Structure 1
Amino acid sequence: MAKKKILVTETALRDAHQSLIATRMPIEDMLPILDKMDKIGYHSIECWGGATFDACLRFLNEDPWERLRILRKNLPNTKLQMLFRGQNMLGYRHYADDVLEYFVQRTVANGIDIIRIFDALNDIKNLQVAIKAAKKEGAHAQVAISYTTGPVFTHEYYVEYAKRIADAGADSICIKDMAALLTPSETYSLVKEIKKAVDLPIQLHTHYTSGLASMCLLKGIEAGVDIIDTAISPLALGTSHAPTESMVAALANTDYDTGLDLVALSEVREYFMTLRKKYIDSGLLDPSMLATDVKALIYQVPGGMLSNLLSQLKQAGKADQLTAVLEEVPRVRKDAGYPPLVTPTSQIVGTQAVFNVIMGERYKMCNDQFKGLVAGKYGTTPVPIDPEFRKKIIGDEPAIDCRPADLLEPELDKLRAEIPEWIEQEEDVLSYAQFPKVALDFFKKRRDKKIGIDSKNADLENKIHAV
């Protein structure tokens, strides 16, 4: 067998800390190690997108665009990668095409090389504009298959979707196992079939929740996977990913050697061990998040969704009902057309399951997001929704069967006109587009901070002139 170098994407700066500490790693915790990470020789470092954008503005008082520029400056030799929710961008609704295209343009201009694009429903209609926009800007357009299980999710389903992804112009495909549902044997056979059907590089992304990730990566590599997602060991395991160093060691001196240096990786590990201790001591990292939990295979619930469900139940004083909610999730998912459980559908289905349990009557209360999912506002579900169920949830409201974004008017100019006094950089309108209230709060804090600094500088100048 011919030798094949396996490429590695490091997730420590995005998905690893999103999975373990709710995306709370600030840029100052990243800066000291970036130089060493840049010298490792990773295929890419995933460092932006997903929930990082929201977390920067909402919790960390950081401008996500400035974070990206800092990362680009300090990682000059490494490709930077982001996660992008198709027509949802980084928010939780569908956006007009003009906003999406401008977002992609500014993303690439600020330093992103690889855009991993996915749709929560695996609806190719919701990906086409994002793929074209990424390629127009010269970025690598990787499209992710949201992997899940259920009656419709056969190998034929995934192979057909992979073919549609290739036809849409993607540069590579990622099998995105966000809920850790893959098993080693399933990984091997699925990768084999997709590889046979499409001539594109395949990247494998899976989480350690069920304890199978390393084995899945190894079997995937044997079946033809080209690139793997891993996390440096202090931020690996549990709801995160397989450890980078362990996978590098497992593949060393084989036909799949990564070529990465374990000594150099150990230096990166030392830094993140210190960081991990800080996060545990502060309570930010709950050590239980690092444990294996096969409930993922039983209830098909991603780790992040699991903690979110428990949080909702605690707020309602119903924490003892978690098992009932976990049993309700698959039933709601079936009613809603078997959506894969990934942002935003995981939140939508999970919240509805909580409502069903705590109200004591199924669908007595439905929020707008669940109604929107059933109405087709997020796209076409993998399985058609029963017409009677749809009528029960949305009444006589007409269902949407086209691409939802086709119903949206261009909105970029309108958004700009809403916040002229707050725009300090071109990208601010995009922050506002995705998180209007959160972005405005951030803009106000930014201005207050700037006024404070200007005031201090003026006082200093007055003192100097007075001398």
Structure 2
Amino acid sequence: MSKKILITETVLRDAHQSLLATRMPLSDMVPILEQMDKIGFYSLECWGGATFDACLRFLNEDPWERLRTIRKMCPNTKLQMLFRGQNMLGYRHYADDVLEYFVQRSVANGIDIIRIFDALNDIKNLEVAIKAAKKEGAHAQVAISYTTGPVFTNEYYVNYAKTIENAGADSICIKDMAALLTPYETYELVKEIKAAVKIPVQIHTHYTSGLASMCLLKGIEAGADMIDTAMSPLALGTSHAPTESMVAALQGTEYDTGLDLMALSEIREYFMTLREKYIKEGLLDPKMLATDAKALIYQVPGGMLSNLLSQLKQAGKADQLTAV
């Protein structure tokens, strides 16, 4: 039985957060948005995470205006954001009424899917956000923050997936931000979670350790419904598996995404030009594009590595990245 795999394109948020410390301005997105809207992505991840902070602190942008602009230019594609539960888009806990109003305004300004996570997998930090998202009519996707260790067994993750479903989530995302998943572990984990819950399962894994494409493929074979990818010029390294490569890998199979590779190649050309510009300007360090299997040991998330390098450069200590 055929099963179309849905793709969340991350180039407008997590890809550049992971490669160039969230420094892609709205002006670099606008020229390609209408073309991206025609592709047929399941969703465009374009807001939340560090984008709110980066817009205000580094880009001199209004993050709300960014969202409204993308919404206006992408009327046919669901827009997705990353939301840190009770931390929202900040770096501390916020009151329930503040969170509820923020979710209300996010949906009113164009967000369709809210991916909600807590770094410690504490459901208490997610419950208010889940209820707020559903109240506003948004899709509440709750993420499992994946890591390794004696207590983090498949049984632990399956139990947490059940808790997430019982809390009212519309779907689950296995969020492997530090690129720790391996292909066969992905297969077993997805298989067990799919057997335990009825809601869709999405896979989010970074390419830092070089395993992302293999993990996505094994996860798809195990029953995953959606995957996160990034347009190839801003894929690999600390980012995600390339969108075009995954579309090609699944083409003609029971998992065919239905996306047009020729249409994607036109979008690729645009982002290739941007990549060259970012490298020339020093925003994108080639180190971030490389595979580093040591990530399996140091376990630093992809989105953190580019920001860490940026801060070390500001301090004149970029040569100390490995030591840090």
TM range (shorter): over 0.9
For residues 150-209 of structure 1, give each alpha carbon's deviation from its aligned partner in whole angstroms, at most 9, with x where no partner exists.
111000110010000000000000000000000000000000000011111000000000
Distance 1:287 1:97 in 2: 41
Alignment of 1:48-197 (within 5 A): 48-197=47-196
Partner SS, residue 45 of structure 1 = strand
Instruction: State the TM-score, normalizing by the size of structure 1.
Output: 0.67
Distance 2:291 2:119 in 1: 25
Partner SS, residue 291 of structure 2 = coil
Q: Quote the residue 1:212 is aligned against.
A: 211
Name the count of aligned residue pairs.
323
Aligned partner letter, 1:95: Y
Q: Quote the residue 2:266 is aligned against.
A: 267
Q: Does 1:288 align with 2:287?
A: yes
Q: How big is the shift at 1:33? A: 0.4
For residues 395-425 of structure 1, give each alpha carbon's deviation from its aligned partner in whole angstroms, at most 9, with x where no partner exists.
xxxxxxxxxxxxxxxxxxxxxxxxxxxxxxx
Partner SS, residue 71 of structure 2 = helix
For residues 246-273 of structure 1, give each alpha carbon's deviation from its aligned partner in whole angstroms, at most 9, with x where no partner exists.
0000000000000000000001101101
Distance 2:132 2:52 in 1: 20
* Greater radius of gyration (CA): 1
For residues 194-237 of structure 1, give each alpha carbon's deviation from its aligned partner in whole angstroms, at most 9, with x where no partner exists.
00111110000000000010000000000000000000000000
Q: How big is the shift at 1:304? A: 3.9
Contact 1:233 1:243 in 2 (8 A): yes
Contact 2:144 2:161 in 1 (8 A): yes
Distance 1:280 1:307 in 2: 13
Distance 2:231 2:318 in 1: 36
For the structure 1 residues 10 and 309, does the alpha-carbon distance in structure 2 shift closer, same or farther, using more than 3 Å as the test?
closer
Distance 1:76 1:48 in 2: 16
Greater per-residue strand proportion: 2
Q: Percent identity?
A: 84
Q: Quote the residue 1:277 is aligned against.
A: 276
Q: Does 1:45 align with 2:33?
A: no
Partner SS, residue 118 of structure 2 = coil
Distance 1:272 1:22 in 2: 16
Contact 2:5 2:255 in 1 (8 A): yes
Contact 1:310 1:319 in 2 (8 A): no
Alignment of 1:6-21 (within 5 A): 6-21=5-20
Q: How big is the shift at 1:36? A: 0.5
Q: How big is the shift at 1:124? A: 0.3
Distance 1:304 1:38 in 2: 25
Distance 1:306 1:74 in 2: 31
Q: How big is the shift at 1:300? A: 1.6
Contact 1:159 1:197 in 2 (8 A): yes
Q: How big is the shift at 1:312? A: 6.5
For the structure 1 residues 244 and 150, does the alpha-carbon distance in structure 2 shift closer, same or farther, using more than 3 Å as the test?
same
Cα RMSD (Å): 1.6
Distance 1:149 1:80 in 2: 31
For the structure 1 residues 321 and 293, does the alpha-carbon distance in structure 2 shift closer, same or farther, using more than 3 Å as the test?
closer
Aligned partner letter, 1:76: P
For the structure 1 residues 322 and 200, does the alpha-carbon distance in structure 2 shift closer, same or farther, using more than 3 Å as the test?
same
Partner SS, residue 181 of structure 2 = coil
For the structure 1 residues 307 and 276, does the alpha-carbon distance in structure 2 shift closer, same or farther, using more than 3 Å as the test?
closer
Contact 1:209 1:294 in 2 (8 A): yes
For residues 296-328 of structure 1, give each alpha carbon's deviation from its aligned partner in whole angstroms, at most 9, with x where no partner exists.
1012222343455566677496965954x5xxx
For residues 381-402 of structure 1, give each alpha carbon's deviation from its aligned partner in whole angstroms, at most 9, with x where no partner exists.
xxxxxxxxxxxxxxxxxxxxxx
Partner SS, residue 8 of structure 2 = strand
Q: Quote the residue 1:246 is aligned against.
A: 245
Distance 1:111 1:318 in 2: 38
Partner SS, residue 229 of structure 1 = strand
Instruction: State the TM-score, normalizing by the size of structure 2.
Output: 0.96
Aligned partner letter, 2:46: C
Greater per-residue helix proportion: 1
Partner SS, residue 240 of structure 1 = coil
For the structure 1 residues 291 and 319, does the alpha-carbon distance in structure 2 shift closer, same or farther, using more than 3 Å as the test?
closer
Q: Quote the residue 2:221 is aligned against.
A: 222
Bigger relative contact order (CA 8 A; separation at least 6): 2
Contact 1:313 1:322 in 2 (8 A): no
Distance 1:276 1:221 in 2: 29
Contact 2:146 2:176 in 1 (8 A): yes
Q: How big is the shift at 1:295? A: 1.3
